[in-house]
Structure 1
Amino acid sequence: MSNSALELILERAKEDEHQASMALSNARNERDNYLVQLQQIEQYRLDYCKQLSARGQQGLTASNYNHLQKFLTQLDETLAKQKLAGAQFDEQVKNCSEFWHEMRKKRRSIEWLLEKKQQERKAMLDKQEQKMMDEFATLQFARRVTQTY
């Protein structure tokens, strides 16, 4: 495979790695946003419970209590759904991270292969140059020997 073909493959691998990195970053941001939202809901529930307790100390009708309790149950259900979604966000981050690592490994392998081919080419050129220098030295020696006779 020629160096130019390998360089094209390397550029594609770099682009794939960049896209995987962007996907990982997006997945992490989505998870972070989810965690902030979850924390806000939990804080809202806590504040609501404090408010319910304060109102209860002042006296509540059964109807008001049932209404407030029903709302608290809905908050609990929302929190439960949010926590289930959290596992999906974590899984998405894990998958994106694994894919990014694969793309990084692929890029590094191509870079290694390209470097190896360049080293082999350099070694071949060095060997050719040495051979030419040896031939030149041999010719010079032969000329000197011929000139002295």
Structure 2
Amino acid sequence: MADEALAFILERTRDDEHKAALALNQARLEHQSYLQQLQQIEQYRLDYCKQLSVRGQEGLTASEYGHLQKFLNQLDETLVKQKAAGQQFEQQIEQCSEHWNEVRKKRRSIEWLLDKKQTERQQQLDRQEQKLMDEFATLQFARRMTSAR
């Protein structure tokens, strides 16, 4: 594969890695937002329970108590749904992380291949230079020997 093609593939892979890193970061931000939202709902439920307790001590009708309890049940259902959604956020983070790692491995492999090709080229140039130096030294020696006669 030509070096230009590998360089192009490397650039594309770097772009893909950058996009994967952005997606992973976005998934983490969404998960953090989700956790804050969940914490707010839990805090709201706790505050609501405290209010229910205070109002209960002041005296509630059965109808009022039923309405308050119904709302508390709705909050509990919302929390259950939110916690289920949390698993989806965690799965999304895991998938994004795996994708980012795969793309990163690919980029590193391409960089390794380009480095290897560059090292091989340099070694070949070094061998050619050494061969020329050896030939030059041999010619000089032969000239000295010829002129010494």
Q: TM-score, normalised by structure 2?
A: 0.98
Note if 1:141 corresponds to 2:141. Answer: yes
The alpha-carbon deviation at position 64 of structure 1 amounts to: 0.8
Is there any run of 5+ residues in structure 2 with no aligned partner, and where?
Answer: none
Answering whether residue 24 of structure 2 is matched by residue 24 of structure 1, we say yes
Matches within 5 A, 1:1-149: 1-149=1-149
Identify unmatched segments of 5+ residues in structure 1: none
In 2, the alpha carbon distance for the partners of 1:120 and 1:16 equals 28
What SS does structure 1 have at the residue aligned with 2:28?
A: helix
Cα displacement (A) at 1:21: 0.4
Q: Any idea what the Cα deviations from partners look like across 1:44-91, whole Å, max 9, x if unmatched?
A: 000000000000000001111111111111111111110110000000
1: distance between equivalents of 2:5 and 2:139?
A: 40
2 CA distance for matches of 1:95 and 1:76? 29
The percentage of counterpart residues that share the same residue type is: 70
TM-score by length of structure 1 reads 0.98
What amino acid is the match of 1:83?
K
Runs of 4+ in 1 over 4 A off after TM superposition: none
